[in-house]
Amino acid sequence: MTPIYQTSTYVQSAPGQNKGYEYARSQNPTRKVLEEALAAIENGKYGLCFSSGVAATDAVIKLLQPGDEVIAGNDMYGGTYRLFTKVFEKFGIKFHYINMQDSNNISKYINQNTKLIWLETPTNPLMSIIDIEAVVSIASKDHIMVCVDNTFASPYLQNPLDFGAHIVLHSATKYLGGHSDVIHGCLVMNDATLREKLYFLQKSCGAVPGPQDCFLVLRGIKTLHVRMQRHCENGRKIASFLRNHSKIEKVYWCGFEDHPGYSIAKKQMRDFGGMMSFELKNKKDEEVKRVLSSTKLFSLAESLGGVESLINHPASMTHASIPREERIKNGLSDSLIRLSVGIEDADDLIEDLKKVLG
Ligand SMILES: Cc1ncc(COP(=O)(O)O)c(C=O)c1O
């Protein structure tokens, strides 16, 4: 096993002559092994680890200058939206939030200041699918960088670099860690110059993970494939159960053949995963709250991608930082319920939902 190098500094041979490591904000052996492993599973050349997914996002936006513009999906993790609007707009970076399901929409927002296209696919929490290859082809005409937040799919299901994306981001807190016991983020890329710029930001801004956290993610990814297989199997069963239930109005899951992004999902993903959202027919607040607070195996909590199933209310939890009008405009209602289907016995999970839905 890779040891946990609980080390902040490293003995050097002579002034200016180190043995590969100087100071742990810049390099740590446990982190290095993880960075290499993450690059390998994302089919990339370089990995960089951060203290959280948000810290990794922060590093990517710090590649930009005041006056630069970013085109971002309008359905994304609330914390990313908060970082963009509440922190980076203040520093003169302009963000356009658009529906990317039709990639032709993007061209309308491109101008000479556009430097980055930011997308999640599947999106959080509406499970829309964005065509990575199509976005990259539009972006490359104007030398615009594309960063894909691949947290929902995980590298087991989708490798955005293979479709031409320049940077892949993960909240490793989720599927990569897999056990709800670590906060961690990472970036993976192929371009050496880009890696140098991001490494400079990693060590200069200092949002690095500790070695114990790197160890936990290293251990997590050893079982990623097995966990993901079960997440996908369970996801398929739970999504079908919900869709056929008389109390459910709509299920958002990209594995349904009539999902608008199904054919793109088939092209760029190996399976459809265990994330889904749904709407009850009865959308009254009391009923939505009752469902959210009554399940036994699905725990009410933020986050996703752990072995245990979670139930979440995006409007008041993960996406509360997006203003209500903005949320509603983009289809994220007050009554939407999100599930992160874990790897428990699928029949037990269905029984849990059956009891609550009636
Ligand atoms: C899709 C997505 N990206 C990024 C993040 C941020 O990651 P972290 O919580 O590790 O900072 C999250 C967290 O929920 C997420 O769901």
How far apart CA 316 and CA 118 sit, in angstroms, is 24
Q: Other CB atoms closer than 10 Å to residue 18's CB: what's the count? A: 14
Give the type of residue at 55.
Answer: A
Q: What is the pLDDT of residue 44?
A: 98
Q: What is the pLDDT of residue 126?
A: 96
Instruction: Tell me the CA–centroid distance for residue 257 and ligand 1, in Å.
Output: 28
Span 154-197, pLDDT tens digits: 999 999 999 999 999 999 999 999 999 999 999 999 999 999 99
Instruction: Tell me the CA–centroid distance for residue 152 and ligand 1, in Å.
Output: 9
Q: What is the pLDDT of residue 33?
A: 98
174 is catalytic: yes
Q: Is the CB of 54 under 6 A from ligand 1?
A: yes
Query: If you average pLDDT over residues 248-274, what whole number do you get?
Result: 98
Query: If you average pLDDT over residues 36-46, what whole number do you get?
Result: 98
Average pLDDT over the chain, rounded to whole? 97
Q: Which of 31, 115, 174, 327 is catalytic?
A: 174
25 is catalytic: yes
Q: What is the pLDDT of residue 174?
A: 98
- Binned at pLDDT 50, 70 and 90, residue 59 comes out as very high
Span 205-220, pLDDT tens digits: 999 999 999 999 999 9
Ligand 1, atom nearest to 80 Cα:
4
Question: Residue 274's closest CA among 99, 156, 104?
Answer: 156
Q: Is the CB of 27 under 6 A from ligand 1?
A: no
Contact 192, 46 (CB under 8 A): yes
In DSSP terms, which residues pair with 312 in a beta bridge?
Answer: 338
Contact 170, 151 (CB under 8 A): yes
- Strand 46-50 versus strand 185-189 pairing type: antiparallel
pTM of model > 0.85:
yes
Which one-letter DSSP state was computed for residue 295? -
Span 298-325, pLDDT tens digits: 999 999 999 999 999 999 999 999 999 9
**At 278, is the secondary structure helix, strand, or coil?**
strand
Joined tokens for residue 21:
């490591």
Contact 30, 218 (CB under 8 A): yes
77 is catalytic: yes
- Binned at pLDDT 50, 70 and 90, residue 222 comes out as very high
Instruction: Tell me the CA–centroid distance for residue 10 and ligand 1, in Å.
Output: 32
How far apart CA 67 and CA 116 sit, in angstroms, is 12
Q: Is the CB of 268 under 6 A from ligand 1?
A: no
48, containing H or E segment: strand 46-50
Query: If you average pLDDT over residues 41-50, what whole number do you get?
Result: 98
Q: Is the CB of 53 under 6 A from ligand 1?
A: yes
219 is catalytic: no
Q: What is the pLDDT of residue 284?
A: 97
- Binned at pLDDT 50, 70 and 90, residue 123 comes out as very high
Query: If you average pLDDT over residues 8-22, what whole number do you get?
Result: 96
Q: What is the pLDDT of residue 65?
A: 98
| Burial letters 295-324, b for 16+ CB under 10 A, else e | bebbeebebbbbeebbbbbbbebbbbebee
**At 29, is the secondary structure helix, strand, or coil?**
helix
Joined tokens for residue 254:
């990209």
Q: What is the pLDDT of residue 120?
A: 97
Q: What is the pLDDT of residue 12?
A: 97
How far apart CA 336 and CA 127 sit, in angstroms, is 12
Q: What is the pLDDT of residue 105?
A: 92
Give the type of residue at 3.
Answer: P
Alpha helices, DSSP H, located in the chain:
29-41, 53-61, 78-82, 104-107, 132-141, 154-157, 192-205, 211-222, 224-243, 262-268, 285-294, 324-329, 346-357
Q: What is the pLDDT of residue 277?
A: 98
Contact 37, 48 (CB under 8 A): no
Q: What is the pLDDT of residue 163?
A: 98
Give the type of residue at 146.
Answer: V
How far apart CA 255 and CA 244 sit, in angstroms, is 15
- Binned at pLDDT 50, 70 and 90, residue 84 comes out as very high
Test site for ligand 1: of 77, 168, 217, 302, most ligand atoms within 8 A of the Cβ: 77
Q: What is the pLDDT of residue 239?
A: 98
Q: Which of 77, 81, 97, 175 is catalytic?
A: 77
Q: Is the CB of 171 under 6 A from ligand 1?
A: yes
